[in-house]
Structure 1
Amino acid sequence: MKERKLRGIVVAALTAFDSQEKFDPPAMEEYIDFLVEKGVDGLYICGSTGEGLIMNVEERKRVLETVLKRTQGKNVAVFAHCGSVRMEETVQLVEHAKEVKADGAGMVTPFYYKYSDEELFGYYDTIARKFSDFPIYLYNNPALAGNSISTALVNRLHHADPNIMGIKDSSGNFSMVLSFISETPSEFSVLAGYDRAFLSILLMGGDGCVTGPGAVFPELFVKVYELYKKSNVKLAKEYQEKLTKLSLALGDGANMPLLKVALKLRGIDLGPMRKPFKTFEEEGMKTLKEKLDVVLEEVGLKY
């Protein structure tokens, strides 16, 4: 099995669309170059931030292929989010991710309907067994998906399927993340999907983060992680405070249109959001820029 542990700064990449809301490969390539140049460790493609769940299967495949081609030979891992409300689609996406040699597949719980732990086990176990030689990562986002992954379920899955190698937790529940870290084997990756707790989770034994705001301003995230690896916790805390201010200004990553506008202010235009999302009007952009101008000056960053 191709093993590349999910760790460090993994950005939940946005997706480029043209004026007709069709995937825009040239704009995406420019954006991926920007992220790689900033020193991120990994790219998480077609997740929540990347609007993957409002794209069809073929579109998601094309986005992944574009990113993999652009990052060929670069020291960056590429993981495909393959979650869907339909297991059949998830299987198709994981199969494709494996074929095109992505570093692994992440998947949110099946959503809309409420599922028991036994049903969630069956979902992940079926997929993991089908692709037993390919790394699979769980994605816990109960606020959006309506289903939560418990520590007991994580341990059961990892024991049954060793290729289930980690979890991204976006619950915002600090005690849950701590239980994932303390009650799972050391080879199991635990990544924060909650930027304000990033350094704290690293200090507790976590492996990194999967971040939306970091897909716009990766510099602070990279800096915190570098300082942590050098055991310079005091300075890392100072940068975490800056990171927190910036993340709050960007809606903690929950406001995807805000992220695209902020990226446009940095000179990278990924086009509109897909409907029913609304794209910011001129006045909204002006308001955001005024707010970001203040925050960026406080944290020592430029557009």
Structure 2
Amino acid sequence: MDRDDVDWRGYWAAAPTAFSATGELDEPAITATLQLYRDQGVHGVLVNGTTGEWFAQSPAERRRVAEVAVAALAGSGVTVVVGCNSYTAAETIGLAEHARSAGADGALTTPPPYVHPSDEEVLAFYRTVTEAVDLPWMVYNWPRGTAVDLSVAVLDQLADLDRVVAVKDSTGDEIKCLEGCEAVMDRVRFFGRFVHRRGMAFLTGLGGDGNIDGGAVGAPFAAPFYDAVWAGDLDTARACSDRYGLLVAALVNSDYSAKFASPTSQVKAAMHVLGQPGGGYVRPPLLPLTDAGRLADLRAALAGVGLTA
């Protein structure tokens, strides 16, 4: 497999997992959230990633979320990739096998978190899991969550693995991200930080495929950005990227931490402010954003770029 075996591109939502007030999976809200993303024109969704609180779910719940997502977006043309992060190759393989049987388009995983694997161990991990499950795989570089920032050299080697077709690079080092894209884009799809004017220049001059955005609150700006870039309407793309940039600056720090709460708590609070399904409840160890002052600041930040309920 390589990048030409999939059509993955554009603005994707890293979807939150909706929980009820008492902590159970809220399947109707999960479905409604994914259908909202479809209606907003997103080009793909990732479920059970960091924003999906995979770490707070049981394996059975993670499997159920994958099934609900595939059913919710069946026939829509929206790509569904399932996060299969875990601490062991065996558990990642089991989750990916289920994702394949459920009808997902692909699987994603970071290196195992917490253990600080070496480059050699990272390569061995990805070789093991990708060879075990016949799915297109996305490598996820997430230094904030794993304490390992995959180097350009390691990404280059991972791109040579037969079933790796994409990279999601969420390093805080934007220059390194672009260098990684240049190194691997001949073989795999590359998702980074492109919804700004520098990113647009890179997309139209060198390459790159998309963004995967936690919670996709910026979908009204970022989804049409990619549509405009592909259509050659660069004036519209610039206008969309400028509004998206204002939103990101208001909500997110350069290291992907959030301004008003932990990132997933902030995403769900923003969705609640906007009247969207899927917002409002997180699972421990996360805590909901309830401080009245910070909620008012969040509401003002959203309204400042034109996002209201």
Calculate the TM-score normalised by the size of structure 2: 0.89
Cα deviation, 1:185-207, whole Å, max 9, x if unaligned, reads 52410101576565355233110
Structure 2 equivalent of residue 63 of structure 1: 65
Q: Match of 2:274, as an amino acid?
A: R
2:289 is the counterpart of 1:280: yes
Structure 1 equivalent of residue 170 of structure 2: 170
Cα deviation, 1:6-57, whole Å, max 9, x if unaligned, reads 2111110111000111111011111111110111110000111111122121
Query: How far is the alpha carbon of 1:140 from its aligned partner?
Result: 0.4
**Closer, same or farther: CA 185–228 of 1 in aligned 2, 3 Å:** closer
Structure 1 equivalent of residue 264 of structure 2: 256
Structure 2 counterpart of 1:6, from 5, 8, 11: 8
Q: Is the 8 A contact 1:17 1:24 kept in 2?
A: yes
Structure 2 equivalent of residue 202 of structure 1: 203
Q: Match of 2:222, as an amino acid?
A: F
Structure 2 counterpart of 1:110, from 108, 112, 115: 112
Q: Match of 1:62, as an amino acid?
A: R
Structure 1 equivalent of residue 158 of structure 2: 157
Cα deviation, 1:239-263, whole Å, max 9, x if unaligned, reads 2111011122232564211111111
117-126 vs 263-272, greater mean Cα deviation: 263-272
2:183 is the counterpart of 1:183: yes
Cα deviation, 1:138-162, whole Å, max 9, x if unaligned, reads 0001122111222222232332x22
Cα deviation, 1:254-285, whole Å, max 9, x if unaligned, reads 42111111111221242411112111226143
Distance 2:171 2:233 in 1: 28
Q: Is the 8 A contact 2:189 2:209 kept in 1?
A: yes
Query: How far is the alpha carbon of 1:286 from its aligned partner?
Result: 3.1
- Gap runs ≥5 in structure 1: none
- Gap runs ≥5 in structure 2: 258-262
Calculate the TM-score normalised by the size of structure 1: 0.90
Instruction: Give the CA RMSD over aligned residues.
Output: 2.1
Distance 2:245 2:122 in 1: 33
Structure 2 equivalent of residue 294 of structure 1: 304
SS in 2 for 1:78: strand
**Closer, same or farther: CA 246–44 of 1 in aligned 2, 3 Å:** same
Structure 2 equivalent of residue 89 of structure 1: 91
2:230 is the counterpart of 1:229: yes
Q: Is the 8 A contact 2:19 2:282 kept in 1?
A: yes
Structure 1 equivalent of residue 52 of structure 2: 50
Q: Is the 8 A contact 2:82 2:108 kept in 1?
A: yes
**Closer, same or farther: CA 171–185 of 1 in aligned 2, 3 Å:** closer
**Closer, same or farther: CA 138–201 of 1 in aligned 2, 3 Å:** farther
Structure 2 equivalent of residue 144 of structure 1: 145
Structure 2 equivalent of residue 245 of structure 1: 246
Distance 2:128 2:89 in 1: 9
Identity over aligned residues, as a percent?
28
Q: Match of 1:72, as an amino acid?
A: A
Q: Is the 8 A contact 1:194 1:211 kept in 2?
A: no
Q: Is the 8 A contact 1:195 1:247 kept in 2?
A: no
Q: Is the 8 A contact 1:168 1:193 kept in 2?
A: no
Q: Is the 8 A contact 1:77 1:103 kept in 2?
A: yes
Q: Which contiguous aligned blocks of 4+ residues in structure 1 show a shift greater than 4 angstroms?
A: 193-198
243-252 vs 278-287, greater mean Cα deviation: 278-287
264-273 vs 240-249, greater mean Cα deviation: 264-273
